């Protein structure tokens, strides 16, 4: 087995973070640009209702795809620590179990999603004029979601092997493919919502083919055989506990979309849902470097923790927070200065243009401090401590944000919904900072 992952335990933490975070950031950037440009294409070529329709479908497809991400991150934590401890067989068995579980769960979820299509779409805010375009988009995209889940699972395993450049390419392929297909299917062939949906689904297939090639080639250390696909109960338990952290986070994201779409529809109608669609895309796009540092941090922390190199784990935490915090400050400045210009790229609708920039400033108000929350919860997941990882992951949206979007609108109207974003960020950062500091002092002693 080609043990290139050993560099995670020997190279300097600063250089490792850059090597891991830059490809991850580029991959997330291209993926986010895809979502962003896709929204621009849809808004300009189909209409603002189409933006709202896609925003309604996102939580459903995100949740099913999140199964793959959860299995990928949960299993990758085991793989990183197993490689750090030089336990190759455990790494192989974990990877085989990841593939089996991903296929079983996502296929079942797709069948369920198609059977109850007419009930799910209205429940997630697809009402009025939004329903029909959302249904068209939903049905087609759902077919490709199992492939997306396998890609997201495989992407995390590639990163756990210490090969971030290949993980980056895996994220770039569907994004670039989707944009090209958007232009062909929506603009040239005038296929409308169906064109947008097929562009997305075909791009998932392209990503899957690349990930499959990687693991079958000599680029991967993980050469599994048929026995590795058999389910192993101890590995499943640990993978499920760690993966549930990611799944719970994505599930809360889906619930948040559901609640936000319905609350905003009741307060401001389709225009408010479309505004959230634009701000939601900016949240995915603008934070790409911070999320890249977080993704790059995971295999470094997991490998060195498995190798019992605790000073290196401490250093990785400190530098990850420093890098991510600095990037968050830059993002904050750009959003505060140019919100009108950003929103105008998405739509020419006067109602949306008049209010969305103001709301966007509120949503990004606490960006400089979110690095502590992201790195803190990621640390516990990387080292295999599922319970604190789960609780800290849920603090922002589950424990703070969701209650706030029910409480604050009573006092501030629609503005109260947007104020909930920075309030939840501040509260969750305080909680995460406390528990991370306590863990460092208790476990990661010099």
The 10s digit of each residue's pLDDT in 166-187 is: 988 988 888 889 889 988 998 8
- Summarised one tens digit per residue, pLDDT across range 386-417 is 788 888 888 888 899 999 999 999 889 888 99
- Determine whether 206 is exposed, middle or buried from the number of CB atoms within 10 Å of its CB (0-12, 13-18, 19+): middle
- Non-local (6+) Cβ contacts of 165 within 8 A are 23
pLDDT for res 336? 93
Mean pLDDT, residues 362-390: 89
Question: Which string of b and e fits 410-430 if b means at least 16 CB within 10 Å?
Answer: eeeebebbbbbbbbbbbbbbe
Q: What is the pLDDT of residue 2?
A: 47
**pLDDT higher than 50, residue 1:** no
Task: Indicate the pTM of the whole model.
Answer: 0.69
User: What residues contact 125, with CB distance under 8 A and at least 6 apart?
Assistant: 55, 56, 257, 258, 261, 262, 265, 273
Write the pLDDT tens digit of every residue in 108-156. 888 898 898 888 888 877 778 888 888 888 889 888 888 888 888 898 8
Give the tens place of pLDDT for each residue, 4-57: 567 777 788 888 888 888 887 787 777 667 666 777 787 777 877 887 788 777
Q: H helices within 183-232, ranges in order?
A: 192-216
Proportion of the chain above pLDDT 70, given as a percent: 97
Distance between CA atoms of residues 99 and 68, nearest Å: 9
Domain boundaries, the chain: 10-231, 270-444
């Amino acid at each position: 087995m080609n043990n290139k992952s050993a560099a995670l335990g020997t190279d300097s933490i600063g250089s490792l973070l850059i090597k891991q975070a830059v490809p991850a950031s580029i991959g997330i950037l291209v993926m986010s640009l895809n979502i962003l440009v896709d929204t621009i294409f849809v808004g300009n070529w189909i209409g603002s209702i189409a933006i709202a329709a896609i925003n309604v479908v996102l939580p459903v497809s995100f949740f099913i795809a999140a199964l793959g991400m959860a299995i990928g991150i949960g299993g990758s934590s085991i793989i990183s620590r197993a490689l750090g401890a030089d336990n190759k067989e455990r790494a192989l068995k974990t990877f085989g179990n990841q593939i089996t579980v991903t296929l079983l769960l996502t296929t079942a979820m797709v069948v369920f999603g198609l059977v109850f299509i007419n009930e799910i779409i209205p429940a997630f805010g697809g009402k009025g004029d939004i329903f029909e375009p959302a249904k068209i988009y939903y049905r087609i995209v759902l077919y490709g979601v199992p492939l997306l889940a396998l890609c997201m699972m495989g992407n995390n395993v590639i990163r756990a092997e210490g090969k971030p450049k290949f993980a980056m390419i895996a994220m770039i392929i569907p994004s670039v493919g989707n944009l090209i297909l958007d232009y062909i299917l929506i603009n040239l062939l005038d296929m409308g919502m169906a064109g947008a949906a097929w562009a997305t689904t075909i791009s998932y297939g392209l990503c899957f083919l690349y990930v499959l090639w990687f693991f079958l080639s000599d680029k991967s250390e993980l050469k599994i055989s048929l026995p590795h696909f058999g389910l192993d109960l101890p590995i499943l338990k640990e993978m499920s506990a760690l993966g549930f952290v990611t799944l719970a986070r994505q599930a809360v994201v889906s619930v948040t979309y559901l609640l936000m779409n319905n609350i905003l529809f009741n307060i401001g109608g389709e225009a408010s849902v479309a505004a959230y669609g634009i701000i939601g895309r900016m949240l995915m796009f603008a934070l790409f470097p911070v999320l890249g540092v977080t993704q790059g941090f995971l295999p470094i922390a997991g490998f060195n923790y498995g190798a019992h190199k605790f000073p290196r784990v401490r250093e990785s935490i400190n530098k990850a927070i420093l890098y991510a915090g600095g990037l968050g400050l830059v993002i904050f400045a750009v959003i505060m200065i140019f919100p009108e210009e950003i929103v105008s790229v998405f739509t020419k609708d006067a109602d949306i243009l008049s209010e969305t920039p103001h709301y966007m400033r509120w949503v990004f108000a606490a960006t400089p401090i979110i690095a502590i929350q992201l790195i803190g919860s990621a640390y516990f997941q990387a080292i295999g401590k599922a319970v604190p990882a789960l609780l800290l992951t849920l603090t922002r949206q589950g424990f703070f944000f969701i209650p706030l979007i029910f409480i604050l609108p009573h006092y501030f109207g629609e503005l109260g919904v947007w104020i909930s974003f920075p309030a939840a960020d501040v509260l969750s950062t305080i909680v995460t900072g406390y528990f991370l500091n306590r863990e460092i002092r208790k476990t990661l002693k010099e």
